[in-house]
Structure formats: structure tokens, C-alpha cells
Amino acid sequence: MLDTKYPAEPFRIKSVEPVKMIDRETREKVLKEAGYNTFLLNSEDVYIDLLTDSGTNAMSDKQWAGMMMGDEAYAGSRNWHYLEATVKELFGFKHVVPTHQGRGAENILSTLAIKAGQYTPGNMYFTTTRYHQEANGGIFYDIVIDEAHDTTAYHPFKGNIDLNKLKGLIDKVGAEQIAYVCLAITVNLAGGQPVSIENMKAVRELCDKYGIKVYYDATRCVENAFYIKEREAGYSNKTIAEIVHESFSYADGCTMSGKKDGITNIGGFLCMNDDELFIRAKELVVVFEGMPSYGGMTGRDMEALAIGLRESVQYEYIEHRIKQVRYLGDLLLDAGVPIMEPVGGHAVFLDAKRFCPHLTQDQFPAQSLAANLYLESGVRSMERGIVSAGRDVNTGENHKPKLELVRLTIPRRVYTYAHMDVVARAVIALHKNKEKIRGLRFVYEPKQLRFFTARFEEI
């Protein structure tokens, strides 16, 4: 009988990349050299790499075959036409603008759609998204439901927008002061939590009433579709592709990083239905990314992305993807390790506040927990808390998010359940000795997106 709770990998492995575990003394040395920032570790010093699922995916045989079909023409590549047709078919938008990755799309949308002083309400911030919005004079405003900020609260669609919060902002500042609503599916910093179709419809209806545009962060839209199929009434018999298509029917456009649900190592795009915005976006993509028919990607990249998008909506693929993440989460929950519940789509998030109750948020508990997990096990993860939140652009004070998390991010089609067992044992062992984890302070703090390159020392 097939195991539907934790299905086996729906693929066979035909190429392998050796990994090794360096000894603890060496890990301690390289961690200090990296300033206790896991982003600054060399990959060859990492045993199991759960830093991110962005561009770390394993491509299929069809994708690798497609790489050999790259049309590397500077303009009008046939691979671009295939990617464009694929995105239009799956997402349903009228126009597609290619970019080198998701933040390229965020930059163009923010530059074109935000006037200084306008608000960009969204269901929890994401680091690069908020940076581009604020860099263009926008003001981020959190409108996610309250449950998203509570790691112990259960809600099947914890990424939903709170309509009362959105309506309250509209009443307070006026519809003309809202550039657009940014709806992420799923919500990364809330633990990969999904958004329901019901909520998407309601947001669309409210925004239509006031003439406000809605743009999705579509980066993990396929994972979101799986949760809709699994949890939302009336969708159990729908295909993943049908759910993805319906989801975007309630949006005016989207930004997309192909490095996640596109199952590739690079690439992204911006979609919209607005003809005038499309013309302006094509003009701007030439400045920041490249020609409107490659946007910073090679022909082979575009071919691989188009194939990956089509593979991502296959049920067997996405079922295993979600449930492998859930397997790790269940192992940790069974051992009493505090995590974001329910387990999200792309990662298991450790609750650093509950994991390290002896540390204050100003002592960067999530950053320290990520560093100590690497030190004890060779497993690389990343901080998603006060360090990632950055500083208020006006006051210079640290943003203090309610969530202080460590993200154990699972690359697609890279690791097996056995690797998840190793990770679980490492986290559980660390949790039993959590009192030994010490806080950190900045040695070097960059002004922008500091979590990438900041350096720390132990207190």
C-alpha cells in the first residue's frame, strides 16, 4: 500500500554530488570567520544546506535536455517565446516581462507603480519586496491576519489578508494613497503559510470597490495551490494547474521568482494585464535587466524555467514536495521542539523566542540559533527575525517583528527523507542543550538588507 502521509520521492536519482562533514573544530573556525552569519559560510563547509530553496533546486532530465536547446540570440529567442506562452497558459495574464530573478521584477513594479508617500499594504513583509517599495517612496503596511504572528495558533490559511485591516487603511489614508495591495502566495516570513481562494476573491472585490490594483508575489504559488486543494472546500477535485490559473484571475499582475516553484537556478518575470504599464515595463527592463525577450536570462535558462513551471503543477511532484517538508516538521513537533504551526510549504521554521527563552530579541536569538545549529551539526539554516527585519527608514530603530524564526528551507528534489532525519536529530539535540546558546551583537551592519552580509560576535 502506498504511503500517502509521506510519499516516496517521485523520481530516480541518476546524478549525485558528494558532500562531506568537516570536524567540529573546523566548523567553529569557519563560523567565526563568517562572523556567525550562515550566508557567509562556504558551501563546501556545509553538510546539509537548508539556507534557501531559491535557485538550489535539482532540475529534471527534461530540463537538462532543454538546456541544450538554448537559442542564445540577443533578441527574439525561441526559448523566450516558449516561456512567454507557458506563463500565459498557466497564469492567464496578458503580458509577461522576463527578469533575471524575482527581485528584478519587484524593482520594476515598485519603480513604475509607487508614488512617494503611497502605501503598499501586504500580508506580511518580505525583505527584498519591502526594500524596493521603500526605496521608491512607498510605505509598507502589514494587513495579514493576527494568527500569522502567533507560531502556536492554528489556521488553515494563515497567510490570509485581514479585510478589516485593509479597509481600515483605506478609510484612514484614502484609496488614492494606496499604490497597490501586495498579496504573497504563500507568505514566506509567516512560515510559508498559504492564502485561500476565498480570501483572494474577497480582497479583489474590496479593491475593485475602491479602484485599487492587486499584485501577487507569486513565488510559491504552486505550493499555495496544493494547500487550497488539500484544505479548501470545493477544490479537492481540481487540478493544481486549474487552481493556479484561478488564483491569478483575481490579480492585476504578479512578480515571480522562477528560482522556487519554477524549479530552476535562475530566472523570474513580471506579469500584468495593463497595456500602458506593460509598455513602460518593457522600457525599464532594458535599463535594469536586458532586452524584453530575455530580461537577464540566457536562452537555456528560459527553456529550463518553462519546463520547470510545467513540471511544478504535476500533482505527484508537489505532493512529495509539501509532505517532505511536513515530515521534518512532524519529527520536530513529536520531540517537543517549538516551530511555526502548521508546517508551511517550503520550510520548517524554528521559533527562536521559545527555543531560546533566555535571550532577549535584541540579542538576536534566531541568528545565534542558526549559527549554533551549524556549529553542532554542519546543517546550514538562516535567520528570519529582527536582523532580517532591518531598521525603520525614518527613525533608524530596529524593526521588532513578533516572529523570531530560523528557517530550515528544503530545496526541491535535492534531499531525501534520510537527510530530514539527520536534520531533525541535530535540532532535537541542540534543543536539549539550548541554555548554552549565547546571544550576538553586530560587528558590521550594512545599511541595506543586512542579513545577507552582516557580521556578529558572541556576547
Provide the annotated active-site residues: 74, 126-127, 217, 260, 384, 451
Enumerate the H helices of 253-409 as residue ranges: 275-288, 299-312, 315-334, 352-355, 365-377, 386-389
Contacts of 11 (CB under 8 A, 6+ apart): 60, 413
Please report where in the chains the cell 568537516 appears, as a residue.
Answer: 22
Please report where in the chains the cell 479548501 appears, as a residue.
Answer: 232
CA dist., res. 112 & res. 105, Å (int): 11
On the question of a cis peptide bond just before residue 342, with omega within 30 degrees of 0, the verdict is yes
Q: List the Cα angle 256/340/200 in 5-degree steps.
A: 45
CA dist., res. 399 & res. 139, Å (int): 14
Is residue 267 a contact partner of residue 100, using CB atoms and an 8 Å limit? Answer: yes
Is residue 107 a contact partner of residue 113, using CB atoms and an 8 Å limit? Answer: no
CA dist., res. 159 & res. 156, Å (int): 9
CA dist., res. 67 & res. 445, Å (int): 40
The four Cα atoms 131, 132, 133, 139 give a dihedral, to 10 degrees, of 30
The four Cα atoms 83, 89, 93, 97 give a dihedral, to 10 degrees, of 0
Longest dimension (CA), the chain: 62
Give 151-154 contacts, CB < 8 A, sequence gap 24+. 151/191, 151/338, 151/339, 151/340, 151/341, 151/349, 151/351, 151/354, 151/403, 151/405, 152/341, 153/341, 154/341, 154/342
